[in-house]
Each structure stands twice: as C-alpha cells, then as structure tokens.
C-alpha cells in the first residue's frame, strides 16, 4: 500500500509539472493559408521581452531562433535577420533578399521566475504574424502563450527558462502552417 501511495505521489508531481500552452490563430486568417515547403521565408528578430522594468536581453534573438528551428522541420528556404528592425525595414530587407514571406514575431510577455523555489511559473506570450512581402498584407496572425507548471514549489527543472516553453507550441504552429503541404522532414524539437 505504501508503494502504491508513493507511486501515485510521484505521478502527480510529474503530471502537475507539465508545461501548458495555447496556440490561438486568428480565425479570420485561417481560410486556406498554408505555407509551401518551397516558400522563401525571412524571419525578423523580435524586440527583447520585458516583465515590468526587467529587460530579458537576447530574448528576441532566442525567440527568432526558436521559430527558425520549428519551421526548418518543413522547409529549408528560410533565413533569420541579424537584429531587430521596424516592420517597414523588415519588409524591405525581405524583398531585397527575394523572400516571399516575412515572419514577424512580437514578444508580448516574458517572465522568468525562480519557479523551482518560488512556485511562481515562467510565462511567455508572443504574437507571430506572417506578411506577404510583395503586398505587405497580413496573411496569418497567431498568439502563442505558455507557462511552466509548478506545484508546491516544484518545477520540472531548475534550469527551465521561458524560451524552453516555446519549443512545443512553435512546433505545433509550424505543423498547422505546413499541414496540407508536407510532413516534417525531421522530428520537431522537444
């Protein structure tokens, strides 16, 4: 009986520590928009995220690289910018590079907590927009949000960072964007 109670306790601790996330695509933009594996894609660098007055340095670059990793499971025709710029400049650079689509990430919320001892989860939220480079039209808009699960001050890992929360929802988002076109060429990163 004691072994059964211990097993259930361990199972509950691990189940309660699973990250939770949401991928909310704009329903007005869902009417058949699918990216082709041959699409030429330019990914802009997001501005760094903030929580209150705290700036999370390089969170914009980290977010951009997470998007590149997720999309690279479906296409090899993508490149990331080197620095954050405004939308008009990003579109100009994408046009100059011969890209069809611009992926424009915006960090809405970035919260890194010492979850392993505080019991307060890490939280992240971002908007990912896809823009037609030739027309400047918004083709897709999605909000991705995630938070680490904590229970009783226990976290999945003391080294969890907000960017760790992006892997699964970005992989799911990429699979939706390329859904009818092609299966991933490699397993999506965990």
Say if residues 74 and 37 touch (Cβ distance below 8 Å). Answer: yes
| Residue 155 confidence (pLDDT) | 45
Q: Which of 107, 46, 109, 108 is nearest to 82 (CA)?
A: 46
Instruction: Give the Å distances, CA to CA, from 111 to 10, 13, 64, 145, 163.
Output: 28, 23, 17, 11, 10
Cα–Cα distance between 87 and 61 in angstroms, integer? 16
Say if residues 42 and 90 touch (Cβ distance below 8 Å). Answer: yes
Residue 10 DSSP SS3: helix
User: Whose structure tokens read 């601790």?
Assistant: 13
pTM: 0.78
In this structure, the dihedral spanned by the alpha carbons of residues 75, 48, 58 and 80, taken in order and rounded to 10 degrees, is: 20
| Bridge partners, 142 (sequence order) | 25, 128
List, for residues 92-133, the tens digit of each pLDDT value: 999 999 999 999 999 998 876 655 565 667 788 999 999 999
Tell which CATH classification among 3.20.20.80, 3.40.50.800, 3.20.20.100, 3.90.800.10 matches the domain 2-177.
3.40.50.800
| Residue 151 confidence (pLDDT) | 59
List, for residues 133-155, the tens digit of each pLDDT value: 999 999 999 999 988 776 554 44
| Bridge partners, 54 (sequence order) | 51
List, for residues 30-62, the tens digit of each pLDDT value: 566 789 999 999 999 999 988 888 888 899 999
């Amino acid at each position: 009986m004691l072994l059964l109670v211990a097993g259930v306790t361990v199972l509950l601790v691990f189940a309660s520590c699973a990250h939770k996330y949401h991928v909310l695509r704009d329903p007005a933009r869902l009417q058949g928009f699918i990216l082709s594996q041959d699409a030429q894609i330019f990914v802009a660098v997001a501005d760094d995220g903030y929580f209150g007055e705290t700036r999370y340095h390089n969170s914009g670059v980290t977010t951009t690289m997470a998007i590149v990793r997720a999309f690279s499971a479906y296409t090899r025709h993508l490149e990331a910018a080197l620095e954050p710029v405004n939308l008009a400049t990003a579109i100009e650079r994408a046009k100059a590079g011969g890209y069809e689509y611009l992926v424009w990430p915006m960090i809405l919320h970035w919260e890194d907590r010492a979850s392993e001892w505080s019991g307060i989860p890490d939280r992240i939220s971002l908007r990912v927009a896809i823009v037609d480079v030739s027309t400047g039209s918004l083709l897709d808009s999605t909000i991705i949000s995630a938070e680490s699960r904590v229970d009783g001050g226990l976290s999945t890992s003391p080294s969890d960072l907000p960017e760790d929360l992006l892997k699964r929802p970005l992989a799911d988002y990429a699979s939706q964007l390329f859904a009818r076109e092609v299966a991933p060429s490699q397993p999506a990163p965990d």
